[in-house]
Structure 1
Amino acid sequence: MSRQKFATTAGIALCCAVVGVGLVGCDADTDGDSSAPAPAPEEGTGEDLLTGTQTITVGDHTVKVSCSGEPADGRPLVVLLHGGGDDLTTMAPFQETLSADGRVCSYDRLGAGGSDQPGGPQDYDSVGETLTGVLDQVAGEEPVVLVGHSMGGLIAGRYAPDHQDRVAGLVLLDSTSPTAVADVSDRIPESDTGPAGELRAQTLAIFAGENPELLVFTDGDVASAGDIPVRVIQHGQQYLGEVPEYGEGLEEDWTAGQNKWLALSEDSELSTAENSGHYIHVDEPDVAVAAIDEVTTRAAG
C-alpha cells in the first residue's frame, strides 16, 4: 500500500470509526443514500405532535428536527443521534424503517446539517443542553430511548446517567469509546513520523475541538444510568486492522471501549454485527432494529 493510499484509508477508518468526524478528504461512503430527505410529514397525528422536518428554537439557536411515525401504546419515543460529520439525513432511511412500529425523531446537533453553528467550543454538558431542549419539544415529560451512532453514542452515553428521568433505554451503535483520547494517543506514539503519526495528530486535533460541532472530547469513567436496558453493538468488519503496525491494537482498544459502555446499566449487553462496518444501521439494519425493539419493549415494561 502506498503512503498516500494508507493515509487516506487510515484517515477514513479513524475519523469515521473512532470519531465519526470528517478529516480533509474523508467523506464516508455508507453504501446508502446519505443525502436522502428526512421522512415527509404525516397527516392525522394531532395538532400538538411535531411531525415531518421542522426548525425549532432551543435556547438562542435554531435546531432542525425530523419526526415520523405514529405513537404506539407503551412504546417510548425513539430519538436518533447521528455520528459526527453526519446529520439527520444520514439516518433518514433507518428512521423510516423504525417509523413503521412507532414514533421516531432525529435532529441536527449544533454545527451539523440545518442547525445553527455553536457559539464556541462545546463540551458534553452543552451538547446535552441542546438534547434536553429537543426532548422537551418532541417528547414532553415522557421518557425516551436514545439510539446513538459513533459520536452520537458517546453523547448519549454521557447524557443518560445525569438524566435518568428522561432516558428509558439506550442503543449504542459502534459508539466512540469513553476513553477515545487515550486510546489513540497511547496506541500510536507521538514519536511516529510516518502516516500513522500524522493520523494521530489529525485525530487528536479533532478530539481537541477541530470538528464541525466544536465538541472537545474528554475521557472519563462511565457513570451508571441505573438499570435501564442498554444494548451496545460493535462492528464486525475489522477495518481498523488495516492500519499497519497499530491496526490490531486499535481494534483491541475499540472493543475495550465498547465493553466500558456496559457499565451504564445492570441490564446491558454487548454484541457484534458480524457483517457490518462502522455504519451498522446501514450495513445491518436488521441487527440495529432488533436491538431497538428489545430495548423499547423492556423500557415499556
Structure 2
Amino acid sequence: MTFVFLRRVRYLLFGLAIACVAALSGSVYQAETTAADLAAFPPPGRMISVNGVNLHLDCMGSGSPTLLLEAGLGENVLSWYPVKAKLARNMRVCAYDRPGLGWSDPIYTAIQPEDVAKNLYTLLNNAGISPPFVLVGHSRGGIYVRAFYHQFPEQTQGIVLVDSTHEQSPMHQYPYAAWDYRKQAMQIAVAEPLSRIGLVRLLGIADADRRPSPLPAEILAAMTALQNRTDTAHAVVNEIAVMREGLDPATPPPGNLGDLPLLVLTAGNLVTLDIVALEAERSGKDVEAEKALAQIQQAEQDDLARLSSNSRHIIVRNSGHFIMQDQADEFVGVVSEFVLRIPLVNLAR
C-alpha cells in the first residue's frame, strides 16, 4: 500500500513539474511574441499620459467640431479603419483605446462609465484637443459617450449612437441574457489566465480573422496581435463585470439628452425578423427566442432615439453589429451630413 501511495505521489509531482515547466515556457512565449507583435505593429497615434497610464490617441484631419470615436467592448481604434480616413476629409477625427485595449496601458480594476468619461476628458485635455466634440459610440461605447455628455454637456455638440448598448439591456433581455452574460464572463475569465501562458494565442481563440470580415488582411493581422495581448483579456473581464450590473432591476434608464443633436444608427440585420429567423435556423438557435430578442433590441434602439427631442433614427439595411465596417460608405455619408449640419458653437476651455 505504501509503495503504491509513494508511486502515485511521484507521478503527481512529476505531472506538476511538467505543468510548471509548460506554464513557464508558455509565459515566456507569450511575453516574447507580444513584444514582437508590438514591434511589428506600432501605434498609429500618440501615447498620452492620463493619471500615470499611457493611453493611445489617434487623430487625423482638421476643423471643428472634433469627431470622437468610442469603440465597443474589447475593441480598439482599428475597428474604425474603414471610415476614419474618409470622415477626416471633412473634419478632425480622433479615436482612442481605453485602458488595456489596443495599444493603451492596462489598469487592474473595473471602472464605471463615469470614470471612462473622466479619463477621456483628461486625455483630450492633456493632448491639447479642444472642444466642441461630437461623440460617436459603438455598442458599449454608446454608454460611455452618454456618460461623457452628462458630465461635460458644455463640451458636447452632438452624439452618434452606432448600434449602441442600452443601460438596461441585460435586464430587458432576461431570462435570455442572464445566463449569456454569466457564460461570457466565465469564458473570458478562463481565457485570461490561458492568455498569460500563450494558449489563447496558440489556439487562435482571439484571432481577428476567425470570422468573415470586410477589413483588409493587414488590419486583421494588427487586430489579432492586439487581441492576443494578456492585457486585452483582463480589460474585457473588467468591462463585463460592470456590464453585468445591468442585470439589477434597479439599474436606471439612460439619461435624457434634452435637445442635443442625436443620430441613432441601428443594425438592420439584428432587428429585421425575417433575417433574424433565417440566421437562427442556419446556426441552430431557438428561432422564437432570437426573434424575441430582436424585438427587444428594436425597442431599446427606439428608446435611445427618444432621449433627445432633436434626433434622427436610421435602420441600416444589410448590416450587422459593426455598421461602420459592413456599410462604411453609408456610415460616412450620414455621419458627415449629421456633423456638418450642427450649428458650430465656439467653446472656451
Q: TM-score scaled to structure 1, two decimals? A: 0.72
Aligned mate of 1:271, from 311, 314, 325: 314
- 1:57 and 2:89 aligned: no
- 1:228 and 2:257 aligned: no
Distance 1:251 1:102 in 2: 35
Change (3 A) 1:213 1:232: farther
- Offset, 1:187: 3.9
Distance 1:249 1:296 in 2: 34
Q: Which residue of 2 aligns with 1:202?
A: 183
Q: Which residue of 1 aligns with 2:236?
A: 212
| Identity across matched positions, percent | 26
- Offset, 1:252: 1.0
Give RMSD over aligned pairs: 2.8
Aligned mate of 2:168, from 161, 174, 179: 179
- 1:291 and 2:272 aligned: no
SS of the residue aligned with 1:299? coil
SS of the residue aligned with 1:94? helix
Q: Which residue of 2 aligns with 1:106?
A: 95
For the Cα contact (< 8 Å) 1:164–1:225, is it kept in 2? no
Change (3 A) 1:292 1:57: same
Distance 2:254 2:98 in 1: 22
Distance 1:237 1:139 in 2: 39
For 1:16-67, what per-residue CA distance to the aligned partner results, in whole angstroms no more than 9, with x for missing partners? Answer: xxxxxxxxxxxxxxxxxxxxx79x9xxxxxxxxxxx6110011121101101
Contiguous gaps of at least 5 residues in structure 1: 1-36, 41-51, 191-196
SS of the residue aligned with 1:212? helix
SS of the residue aligned with 1:300? coil
For the Cα contact (< 8 Å) 2:163–2:323, is it kept in 1? yes
| Code of the aligned partner of 1:67 | C
| Code of the aligned partner of 2:116 | V
For the Cα contact (< 8 Å) 1:122–1:214, is it kept in 2? yes
Q: TM-score scaled to structure 2, two decimals? A: 0.63
Contiguous gaps of at least 5 residues in structure 2: 1-40, 190-232, 345-349
SS of the residue aligned with 1:154? helix
- 1:144 and 2:133 aligned: yes
Change (3 A) 1:201 1:213: closer
Change (3 A) 1:264 1:136: farther
Change (3 A) 1:189 1:276: closer
SS of the residue aligned with 2:49? strand
Distance 1:283 1:140 in 2: 30
Number of matched residues?
243
Matches within 5 A, 1:1-301: 53-71=45-63, 75-138=64-127, 140-184=129-173, 186-188=174-176, 197=179, 199-203=180-184, 212=236, 214-215=238-239, 216-217=242-243, 218=246, 219-238=251-270, 241=277, 242=280, 243-244=285-286, 245-301=288-344
Q: 274-283 or 212-221: which moved more?
A: 212-221
Q: 219-228 or 247-256: which moved more?
A: 219-228
Distance 1:131 1:222 in 2: 20
Distance 1:300 1:81 in 2: 22
Q: 173-182 or 130-139: which moved more?
A: 130-139
Change (3 A) 1:166 1:136: same
